[in-house]
Structure 1
Amino acid sequence: MKKWVWAFAVLAMGVGVARADIIHATWGGGGAAVLRDHFQAPFTQRTGIAARMAEVPNTAGLVRSPTAAQYNVVEVTYFEAIGLAKSSLLETFDDREIPGIANLPRELVVRNAQGRIVGLSTHFAYYAIAFNTTLAKASDFQSWNDLADPRWKGKLAVTRPIYATSYDLTIMAHANGGSASNVEPGIPPLRAIFGNALTTYTSLAHMNTLLARGEVTAVPFYSTRVWNLRREGQMTIDMVIPREGALMLPYVVVVPRGSANRAQTLAYLNALIDAEAQTRMSAQNGSIPSNNMAVLPPEVERSLGMTRADLMQRMYIPDWNVVVSNYEDRLNQVEQIAAGARR
């Protein structure tokens, strides 16, 4: 067992509330089950600190709610973590309390304006192009701009503007010479992609069905969803990273302000960013470990066709602070694009 795990466990027991539950809130579904079975169970066995999952539909909304302090750890997207930090809704930590951050890329640690830690990336997925292999091939999508080709009219799906603003617009800007600060180059191709879309998917399950049934040919989608679909036997679904790269989507754990059981929570956070734990969970859900010392499980590496180091070379990591700061104005633009495509 890692020495710091024992140290924090002993500290937790010393404050007289060692059996208090650590409540970890995340989205419902397979991700929660993986955490429960492959992280929390061994964590509790090693440390004696009880932990359980809470499945909720909107994790960032939970942190903003009056009851947020009843949760110890909440999983959110990276850009949501930045927004929450700006609103002073999160507990903060000193680097010495979380020694494992030495093995995290600097850009995957969320800090507040004072430089204190407010969020830690436990893993990441990436946003690339998923397609049905009976209707298209990887070479059809060598560039993000290929999605704007008129031949895909009525054959694509797109996500809702609340997500397309942060994800699709950002990667399309990058693919056309722009950046997180300058998204104007991404507007025309994004408009063309919405124009090619048959539908806007309303949930991940909805999108899974559209792809599996061949109702749409391709969609900008999440790597972990494709990995899990293929693991479940949907071998007609695959994913390609265009030459401009994939959008890295880090997932971050935060602690709501006022949350109790700080010592146990610190033990839990340090365990979440441990390389061994991240590798173990990667084998179950296809997520990519954020810890630089972690290695991809063989089955994940085979499915990707590359090592973690090779994959990192193909990731585009935008300045999420800029994305968050400009979100409302850009959302209005994307909503207008979506509305125009529906006419």
Structure 2
Amino acid sequence: MTLSRRQTLAGVLGSAATLALPSRLMAGTGPILHASWGGGVGDTWTKAFADPYSAETGTDVRIVELPNPEAQFRAQAGNPQYHTGIGTFVQGVNLMRDNMLETFDIEELPAMKNIDEKFWLKTEDGRLAGVTPYFAYYGIAVNTNEASVDDFKSWKSLADPKWNGRLGMTRPIYLSTYDLTILAKAAGGDEYNTAGGMDLLKGMAKNVLNVSNSLAQQNTMLERGEVAAMPFYSVRVWSLNEAGVDYVKIVIPEEGALLLPYAIFAPKGVNDREMVAKWLNYIASATPQERGMAISGYIPANDQAEATDDIRSKLGMGYRELRAKLYQPDWGYIAEHQKDTVAAIDQMLAAL
């Protein structure tokens, strides 16, 4: 069997998060090393971003698949071994607040001017702590063999007792960030006022058949019809649909879906800063983001990105129309209060 460059490098690194890279692969001594989640995410970054950039610029980019790039950034603080890495927006906020990210002036990353400022990861003085490559959204996934998409026109439907034992749910760490936020909005509040959302979350929890520990398990529950519906990620449903599982649909309820921006950032003190800035600016541009959409369903953040007829058909709309249906909360506030929110959800679930 012939291993790809990415697979070979991943094998060198092994599964231990604290293993050091060989000196020839240390940041600043050769290619750009980009820390990515594995599986489909790593494949998307290789095909949509890294390989085209290497071909266009002559600067090699290697995708290193890791369970948690944020953990690597923290473990290697002061001695970064990666030039860039991916994280959720909340992870980016937390790393930025802990002064662990390199920051850039907007003129160093001009492609970000075509991305709405509400999607920027930036410091209090306005410097950019990363770029936004794309976003997904958090809606309600429905197995249409078990329920109708019309059954879930509202997020409030998840708390309806008629779904007792027929819903899936994720872990409290994600419930605190995603589910509670959008349920609070559905209840007339927001991330600052979550009392109504907590009531809906409690109602949903009473209907849950299984709290899943992994995305793979959630995929299986939906595909097999073990659950009729559950809050889920648009890109996961996209992947199921592309694999021929067309009876699982993603619903954007009338209150909207939760917009989930991702961030690409560089560790503080990264070497070859100018090289890194050029790579980050490329990531923020429209063309690679369009490729990422075609491969895995991640919605481009760059306003200049255009949806092909095929993409519009699959989405049922264009990018601008889709963005209008999505809710972008204050991720900084959510990140700041996450620990207390998780504790409150744990306490609520324990009392059921």
TM superposition score normalised by structure 2? 0.90
Once the two structures are TM-superposed, the CA of residue 23 in structure 1 deviates from its matched residue by 0.8
CA contact (8 A) 1:283 1:299 kept: no
| TM-fit CA distance, 1:66 | 2.4
Partner of 1:175: 186
Q: CA deviation at 1:18?
A: 9.2
Distance 1:19 1:26 in 2: 20
* Residue 51, structure 1, aligned to residue 32, structure 2: no
Q: Is the 8 A contact 1:130 1:240 kept in 2?
A: yes
Query: AA paired with 2:134?
Result: H
CA distance in 2, matches of 1:212, 1:254: 34
- Matched AA of 1:33: D
2:264 maps to 1:253 = yes
Letter in 1 for 2:147: A
Q: Is the 2:28–2:271 contact (alpha carbons within 8 Å) kept by the matching residues of 1?
A: no
Whether 1:165 and 2:186 are equivalent positions in the alignment is no
Matched, 1:264 2:275: yes
Residue of structure 2 aligned with 1:20, choices 4, 27, 30: 30
2:104 is matched with 93
Within the alignment, does 1:140 sit opposite 2:154 as a pair? no
Aligned length: 325
User: Matched residues in 1 for 2:217 and 2:309: separation?
Assistant: 30
Correspondence list, 1:107-146, <5 A: 107-146=118-157
Q: Compute the displacement of 1:273 (Å).
A: 1.0
| Alpha-carbon distance in 1 for matches of 2:255, 2:193 | 16
Kept in 2: contact 1:228–1:286 (CA 8 A): yes
Correspondence for 1:210 among 211, 221, 225: 221
Partner of 1:289: 300
Stretches of 4+ moved more than 4 A in 1? none
Write out per-residue CA displacement over residues 124-147 of structure 1, whole angstroms, 9 at most, x where no aligned residue: 000000010101111100000000
Summarize deviations over 1:180-237 as a string: whole Å, max 9, x none: 1111111111001111111111111111111111011101000000001100111111
Contact 1:75–1:252 (CA under 8 A) maintained in structure 2: yes
**Are residue 314 (structure 1) and residue 325 (structure 2) matched?**
yes
Q: Does 1:243 align with 2:278?
A: no
Q: Note the C-alpha offset of 1:178.
A: 0.6
CA distance in 2, matches of 1:328, 1:19: 38
Q: Distance in 1 between matches of 2:72 and 2:134?
A: 21
TM-align CA RMSD: 1.4
Q: Distance between the aligned counterparts of 1:119 and 1:262, measured in 2?
A: 13
Q: Distance in 2 between matches of 1:215 and 1:181?
A: 34
* 8 A Cα contact 1:279 1:297, kept in partner: no
CA contact (8 A) 1:19 1:49 kept: no
Letter in 2 for 1:325: E
Length-normalised TM-score, structure 1? 0.92
Which of 309-318 and 55-64 deviates more? 55-64
SS at match of 1:88: coil
Amino acid at match of 2:71: G
Contact 1:160 1:200 in 2 (8 A): yes
Q: How does 1:11-90 map to 2 (within 5 A)?
A: 20-66=30-76, 69-90=80-101
Contact 1:288 1:296 in 2 (8 A): no
Looking at structure 2, the residues matched to 38 and 124 of structure 1 have their Cα atoms a distance apart, in angstroms, of 15
Q: Is the 8 A contact 1:226 1:237 kept in 2?
A: yes
Say whether the 8 Å CA contact 2:48–2:289 is kept in structure 1: no
Instruction: Give 1:64's aligned amino acid.
Output: R
Any stretches of 5+ residues in structure 1 without a counterpart? 1-16
CA contact (8 A) 2:106 2:128 kept: yes
Q: How far off is 1:38 after superposition?
A: 2.6
* Structure 1 contact 103–293 (Cα < 8 Å) conserved: yes
Unaligned runs of 5+ in 2: 1-26
User: How far does the alpha carbon of each residue in 1:46-81 deviate from its partner, in whole angstroms, 9 at most, with x for none?
Assistant: 111111111111122222112661111110011111
